[in-house]
Amino acid sequence: SYRFVNTDQKNELKNNDRSIATLEGKNLLLDNANINEKFSGNMWKYQKSKSDYYSKMKLKEKYAKHLGLKMTAQPDNALDNQFGLIRNAEDVRIRDSGYSVHAFNTLISQRIGNHRGLPDTRNKLCRIQKYSEKLPKTSVIICFFNEHYQTLMRSVHSILDRTDMKYLKEIILVDDYSDLDGLHDAVQKSVNELNNRMRKEEEMIETNNIDVESVVDYINDDNVVDKKTTERNKDILSIRLLKTSKREGLIRARLYGAENSVGEVLVFLDSHIEVNIDWLPPMLARLAEGVDKETRFSHRAVTPVIDVINADTFEYTASPLVRGGFNWGLHFKWDNLPKGTLKTDEDFVKPIKSPTMAGGLFAIYREYFNYIGKYDEGMNVWGGENLEISFRIWMCGGSLELIPCSRVGHVFRKRRPYGTGDKEDFMLHNSMRMARVWMDDYVNKVIEHNPSAANLDLGDLTSRHDLRKNLSCKSFKWYLENIYPELETGENEVVKKRIADLNDVEKNKFQPWHSRKRNYTDSYQIRLKNTSLCIQSEKDVKTKGGGLVLGSCIRILNQMWFETSRFELVLGRTLCLDASNNVAPKLSKCHELGGSQEWKHKGSGGSPIYNTAAGMCLGVDRASRGEPLIMVICDNQPTNQWDFIRT
Ligand code: LR7
Ligand code: MN
């Protein structure tokens, strides 16, 4: 990726500011991640960075001169420029139907489009690592079922934008028999356009005949179509769209993708990801390190650090270095690294052994994947395959590692949109297939934890048992003693039950990156402009789910709002103002995940109060006592303008 660097200015854009730049009059989202240089003003030049994507590099070097780029940048702090801003009823419809089909904010995702900058979340030392030019070539495999089109396409584009062509053989998209109207055709059309354009760029380079217009179009959007399809050179990256002949579930869909791949290394990714700068070489380098001369593969699987793309706001944030574990319910969980793992600077760059993987994002030699037994074909839809492949790799002589310098963002959702109840059933079935083959007597612990798992019909397991025998794998006891001694074998029943009862948002808190520190930056009453009515809780400050109403302004605890550094509004230092139902704000436990509890305003006289996840503002229907607070379109009506009273 190239960075747009201003040559003559001093203002520094903070990493998380979104900025809009105009390139020859067209809007373009600046790659703010790469703007760590000081800038503003009008003169820009391209700067080459380490991981440029294939021929675009050569092209840009040539055409940048022709363009004489003129760009202006402005910080995107104003409410008007908020990506999620709801402008009309149609926006509300898009957002709400997106949530119900995809369980994330499709309105924002759609507005972000195919390209955007990401903060470089790696440790600084990662920037100076050097990787061999001669690394194995990769087939990236992305399976999807009813994925949101724009989110899927941005996943693909992020790979094209941030991967050096010399490491990439192909991108294989496997449509797991999606039934969303028009999805498959739309993806097919985009894939054709991308392939055509890549061929065309190749041709332009060969003939030294560079078409500046088409490159500018590329930066702005993806509407360059070349009618003439040129013969495909085998060494040129291709993007392929496959489709299963029935709904297979993600496990068999991945097998199908793998069978049809040709790269030396397979990289599996989910369909709602964005890869970060230089994500691939550190993983390939580690895989290549341990290659056996005879088989030409290493006995390893490696995973990137999975950064968080917020499902409500699409904000991209860094995850700390954590590793994979599990509990006796056979649920994957994140664990802190064992004490002492990160002592020296170098430890933040070196591979870290992990007892399990989350499942969706990893790299492995194709021939090792086949050798070690691929996946269990008897697993359906979703779940369980991640622990299965983790145990199998470790027990059969391989290793599983986290690569700190490789970062990929993933949209973490609060629910999975595969129908209600599905998840539990499929996951339990899959997990028990795994447990019966790989966990020896410890399967009893699993059943103790969940008695309903005892008598499931799991289907035929002979081929998996045979696999374990043929590979002469070690015992589960060996795995527990040597790879995951941290697993508590006698969990406290009460705590366990409490965790199981939590909803997904609350479960997130058990992720180690969740910080409970609350830092108050301001406090005030919030008064409706030109009135003497303030926002207060309907009941007290500690009733969860309680609504908000207008009341006469008096200095009582349930009118005192405390603003935090994360832009939360905490009533009486107790509960957070939350817009998660998109209709009326409520008081909820502070989840510290931003989004529905993130509120932006000017901080003084007559300001709207904007919620990042809802894309709407705090308002009322009428200015009267007892009137309930609701979420409204931010249209600057007097009923959604607020004053802040500090003392
Ligand atoms: O029937 C299906 N067919 C599919 O092709 C169901 C799903 N899919 C696709 C889907 O479109 C997506 O691209 O499979 C992929 C994974 O499904 P998700 O995104 O619903 O899964 P998840 O991210 O909630 O769950 C994690 O655990 C799964 C267990 O089966 C998979 O291994 C996912 O890949 C995995 N995701 C990650 O590891 C990302 C980090 C999340 C964490 C922790
Ligand atoms: Mn996912």
- Contacts for 96 with CB less than 8 Å, ≥ 6 apart: 582
Burial class (CB in 10 A: 0-12, 13-18, 19+), 453: buried
Provide the 3-class DSSP secondary structure of residue 443.
Answer: helix
The protein residue whose alpha carbon is closest to atom 16 in ligand 1 is 270
Q: What single letter denotes the amino acid at residue 263?
A: G
Q: Which of 30-44, 320-334, 483-497 has the lowest mean pLDDT?
A: 30-44
Q: Which of 191-200, 527-536, 562-571, 630-639 has the lowest mean pLDDT?
A: 191-200
Give me ligand 1 centre to Cα 435, in Å.
20
Give me ligand 2 centre to Cα 144, in Å.
10
Higher pLDDT, 83 or 3: 83
Residue 334 CA: nearest ligand 1 atom is: 43
Would you list the DSSP string of 519-570?
-EEEEEEEEETTSSEEEEESS-SS-TT-BEEEEE----GGG-EEEETT--EE
Give me ligand 1 centre to Cα 586, in Å.
31
- Contacts for 24 with CB less than 8 Å, ≥ 6 apart: 67, 69, 70, 216
Q: How far is it, in rounded angstroms, from Cα 332 to Cα 17?
A: 34
pLDDT at residue 82, rounded to an integer: 66
Ligand nearest to the CA of 308: 1
Quick check: 569 and 577 in contact, CB under 8 A?
yes
Q: How confident is the model at residue 551 (pLDDT cuts 50, 70, 90)?
A: very high
- pLDDT at residue 387 greater than cutoff 90: yes
- pLDDT at residue 319 greater than cutoff 70: yes
- pLDDT at residue 383 greater than cutoff 50: yes
pLDDT at residue 489, rounded to an integer: 60
Give me ligand 2 centre to Cα 141, in Å.
14
Give me ligand 2 centre to Cα 271, in Å.
7
- pLDDT at residue 183 greater than cutoff 70: yes
Q: Cβ–Cβ contacts within 10 Å for residue 570, how many?
A: 21
Which residue among 104, 270, 306 is best mutated to probe the pocket of ligand 1, counting the most ligand atoms within 8 A of its Cβ? 270
User: What is the 8-class DSSP label of residue 275?
Assistant: E
- pLDDT at residue 540 greater than cutoff 50: yes
Residue 359 CA: nearest ligand 1 atom is: 32
ipTM above 0.95, yes or no: yes
Residue position matching structure tokens 């363009």: 67
Residue 418 CA: nearest ligand 1 atom is: 6
Ligand nearest to the CA of 383: 1
Give me ligand 1 centre to Cα 359, in Å.
7
pLDDT at residue 421, rounded to an integer: 54
Q: How far is it, in rounded angstroms, from Cα 25 to Cα 498?
A: 56
Residue 358 CA: nearest ligand 1 atom is: 38
Residue position matching structure tokens 């993708």: 257
Give me ligand 2 centre to Cα 349, in Å.
25
Quick check: 355 and 394 in contact, CB under 8 A?
yes
Phi and psi (nearest 5°) for 268?
Answer: -90, 135
Q: Cβ–Cβ contacts within 10 Å for residue 235, how many?
A: 10
Give me ligand 1 centre to Cα 413, in Å.
10
Q: How far is it, in rounded angstroms, from Cα 7 to Cα 110?
A: 32
Quick check: 550 and 570 in contact, CB under 8 A?
no
Ligand nearest to the CA of 359: 1
The protein residue whose alpha carbon is closest to atom 25 in ligand 1 is 360
For the chain, what percentages of helix, strand and coil (3-state, to nearest 5) are there?
Answer: 30, 25, 45
Q: How far is it, in rounded angstroms, from Cα 220 to Cα 189?
A: 18
Q: Can you read off the two tokens belonging to residue 258? A: 């793998």
Give me ligand 1 centre to Cα 465, in Å.
26
The protein residue whose alpha carbon is closest to atom 28 in ligand 1 is 383
| Percentage above 70 pLDDT, the chain | 76
pLDDT in tens, 248-281: 999 999 999 999 999 999 999 999 999 998 999 9
**Contacts within 8 Å (CB) and 24+ apart, 460-468:** 460/378, 461/378, 461/433, 461/436, 461/437, 464/373, 464/376, 464/378, 464/433, 464/437, 465/437, 467/373, 468/392, 468/395, 468/396, 468/437, 468/438
| Percentage above 90 pLDDT, the chain | 60
- 130-136+272-360+367-513: which CATH number, 3.40.1180.10, 3.90.550.10, 3.40.50.2000, 3.40.718.10? 3.90.550.10
pLDDT at residue 560, rounded to an integer: 97
The protein residue whose alpha carbon is closest to atom 10 in ligand 1 is 144
Residue 413 CA: nearest ligand 1 atom is: 24
CATH number, span 520-645: 2.80.10.50
Which CA distances in Å does 567 have to 77, 190, 211, 543, 564?
13, 38, 46, 21, 5
Q: How confident is the model at residue 603 (pLDDT cuts 50, 70, 90)?
A: confident
The protein residue whose alpha carbon is closest to atom 30 in ligand 1 is 383
pLDDT at residue 83, rounded to an integer: 74
Report every protein residue that has its C-beta within 5 angstroms of ion ligand 2.
Answer: 270
Q: What single letter denotes the amino acid at residue 433?
A: R
pLDDT in tens, 200-221: 767 766 665 555 444 444 443 3
User: What angle do helix axes 183-207 and 54-67 make, rounded to 10 degrees?
Assistant: 70
Give me ligand 1 centre to Cα 382, in Å.
7
Give me ligand 1 centre to Cα 5, in Å.
37
- pLDDT at residue 180 greater than cutoff 60: yes
Give me ligand 1 centre to Cα 486, in Å.
26
How many CA atoms are closer than 13 Å to the CA of 270, on its beta-carbon side? 22
Residue position matching structure tokens 């020859």: 24
Burial class (CB in 10 A: 0-12, 13-18, 19+), 496: middle
Per-residue pLDDT averaged across 360-365, rounded? 98
The protein residue whose alpha carbon is closest to atom 11 in ligand 1 is 144
Quick check: 607 and 640 in contact, CB under 8 A?
no
pLDDT at residue 615, rounded to an integer: 92
Pairing verdict, β 73-75 and 610-611: unpaired
Q: How far is it, in rounded angstroms, from Cα 180 to Cα 479?
A: 42
Residue 268 CA: nearest ligand 1 atom is: 34
Which residue among 244, 269, 382 is best mutated to probe the pocket of ligand 1, counting the most ligand atoms within 8 A of its Cβ? 382
Give me ligand 2 centre to Cα 360, in Å.
7
Q: How far is it, in rounded angstroms, from Cα 539 to Cα 555?
A: 16
Higher pLDDT, 492 or 157: 157
Which residue among 143, 250, 303, 402 is best mutated to probe the pocket of ligand 1, counting the most ligand atoms within 8 A of its Cβ? 250
The protein residue whose alpha carbon is closest to atom 35 in ligand 1 is 360
Q: How far is it, in rounded angstroms, from Cα 124 to Cα 493?
A: 42
Residue 385 CA: nearest ligand 1 atom is: 30
In this structure, the residues whose C-beta lies within 6 A of any atom of ligand 1 are: 143-145, 147, 176, 249-250, 253, 270-271, 306, 332, 358-361, 381-383, 385-386, 410, 416, 418
Q: How far is it, in rounded angstroms, from Cα 476 to Cα 485?
A: 12
User: What is the 8-class DSSP label of residue 243?
Assistant: E
Residue 249 CA: nearest ligand 1 atom is: 1
Q: Which of 2-16, 165-179, 356-370, 571-585 has the lowest mean pLDDT?
A: 2-16
pLDDT at residue 506, rounded to an integer: 47
Q: How far is it, in rounded angstroms, from Cα 144 to Cα 160?
A: 18
Burial class (CB in 10 A: 0-12, 13-18, 19+), 307: buried
- Contacts for 529 with CB less than 8 Å, ≥ 6 apart: 605, 606, 638, 641, 642, 643
By C-alpha distance, which of 293, 259, 36 is closest to 139?
A: 259
Ranges of H-type helices in 9-118: 54-67, 89-102, 106-112
Burial class (CB in 10 A: 0-12, 13-18, 19+), 54: buried
Question: Strands, E, within 7-124: which ranges?
Answer: 19-23, 26-29, 44-47, 73-75
Question: How many residues are given for the chain?
Answer: 647
